[in-house]
Amino acid sequence: MRKYRIRVGLDVDDTLYECNSYAVSIINARHPEEEPMKIEEINSWGGSGRHADERIALYSDPEFVRTQPITKGAQEFVKKLSEIADVFFVTAVPAECMSARAERLIADFPEIPARNIIMGTRKDMLSLDIMLDDGAHNISSSRAAYPVLFRKPWNTGLSGLLSVNSYDDFLHFCEMVLSSFSERFPQLSEGGVLCLVGPSGSMKNEIANSLTALHGFEKPLTSTTRPKRSGEAEGSYRFIGETQFLREMKAGSYIETTVYSGYHFGTSEKDISPIVERGNVAVIPIDICGAITLKNLYRRRAMLVFMRRDRAEAIKSIISREIDLEDKTRRIMSLDFEYRNSEVCDVEVSVDEGVPAAVARIVSLVGKE
């Protein structure tokens, strides 16, 4: 077990303070004659969406930095995090905005010493235990042991990164890292949630289907915006449009949502809880972001199993799928990030000896022999 407090770095813009949404509200006020700009129009951290240059210019305005609204729950989040970790603010702002940024952080988060404020664009030079950032480019180049992406509309294009949807999920992830050498193994023998995590091509769906068909596991119905594949069984997913998905997500219909290869996925509590309450196991092929959310909700009644497959075989599987070239490229490019996620799962199971062997191993781990 670690003999020191873990060092956690927190990005500031759109992690602790509203940035893109604040800029969008200012731009909409400046252009009342136009249809209001939506945050979903921003599909990357840089210059994208309408009035991109105008939006980016705001980030060099000290008054903008001085008046950014604090994100709801940020102060309570930082206070809780500081009780279990040494917290560092890692923020990239122009020189003319540094004083305004430091003044805000010191005033809004008094439990964090001023010496823990790090300003600069070279976040890749920092060695931390855990880093939380909404910029996919910062996470993909981070030297932190666990770089974690804070999911936002503009970072959904890159799949496979270790990611969270909320402050609560991130706090639980930090607790998972702290207790990784002492926490008891999950217990699902009286019901729970089995999360199958792994890269595209690791046969998660095949294994889930075998567990349900041969061993009595139950697969909750997951909603998704991706199109139905050729030969895919009815009832494998609930296929809906993106507009409907986003409407349901905002209404709180899902307990976990994620984006994989540009498509949304979500699972509702009404589809999982009855399975667990009956004493059975809900098996869900899921990415690491959704898995962490479910682990946060079900704790020791949730098991994260990383499905490891030989890289060459995984690539062959991706190439053979009836998906467009861009989707195949994204999935292959995310493999390195996906394999790294094994470090935060409860156990790893190889699929290189075939689905039956992997299924037998999982049944043994869950205790449903």
Same domain, 161 and 273: no
| Final residue in a domain of this structure, among 178, 211, 232 | 178
CB burial of residue 261 (10 Å; 0-12, 13-18, 19+): buried
Same domain, 138 and 78: yes
Same domain, 167 and 213: no
DSSP 132: E
Residue 263 within any structural domain of the chain: yes
Same domain, 22 and 125: yes
Contact 121, 137 (CB under 8 A): no
- Per-position pLDDT tens, the chain of length 369: 344 578 999 999 999 999 999 999 999 999 999 999 888 888 765 666 677 888 889 999 999 999 999 999 999 999 999 999 999 999 999 999 999 999 999 999 999 999 999 998 888 888 899 999 998 888 888 888 889 999 888 887 667 778 898 999 999 999 888 876 455 688 898 899 999 999 888 999 899 999 999 999 999 988 999 888 777 777 778 899 989 998 888 888 888 887 777 788 888 888 999 999 999 999 999 888 888 888 888 988 999 999 999 999 999 998 988 888 888 888 888 888 888 888 889 999 999 999 999 999 999 999 865
- In this prediction, residue 47 carries a pLDDT of 61
**Of 325, 223, 302, whose CA–CA distance to 266 is shortest?**
223
Residue 1 within any structural domain of the chain: no
- In this prediction, residue 232 carries a pLDDT of 75
- Residue 133's CATH number: 3.40.50.1000
Q: Which two tokens stand for residue 212?
A: 């349900």
Same domain, 133 and 256: no
Same domain, 201 and 349: yes
Residue 77 within any structural domain of the chain: yes
Q: CA 302 to CA 297: how far, in whole Å?
A: 8
Same domain, 165 and 240: no
| Final residue in a domain of this structure, among 147, 178, 209 | 178
- In this prediction, residue 369 carries a pLDDT of 55
Q: Are strands 256-260 and 263-267 parallel, antiparallel or unpaired?
A: antiparallel
Same domain, 93 and 135: yes
Same domain, 171 and 255: no
Residue 234 within any structural domain of the chain: yes
* Cβ-based neighbours of 359, under 8 Å, separated by 6 or more: 207, 210, 211, 214, 215
Same domain, 107 and 198: no
- Residue 203's CATH number: 3.40.50.300
| Final residue in a domain of this structure, among 134, 153, 178 | 178
Same domain, 171 and 205: no
Residue 186 within any structural domain of the chain: no
Greatest pairwise CA separation for the chain in angstroms: 66
Residue 185 within any structural domain of the chain: no
Same domain, 164 and 282: no
Residue 187 within any structural domain of the chain: no
User: How many domains is the chain built from?
Assistant: 2
Query: E strands of 46-182, at which residues?
Result: 85-91, 117-119, 130-133, 146-150, 163-164
Q: Which amino acid is at 221?
A: L
Rama region for 279: left / alpha / beta (φ>0; ψ in -120 to 50; rest): left
Contact 286, 202 (CB under 8 A): no
Residue 269 within any structural domain of the chain: yes
Residues of the domain holding 88 = 6-178
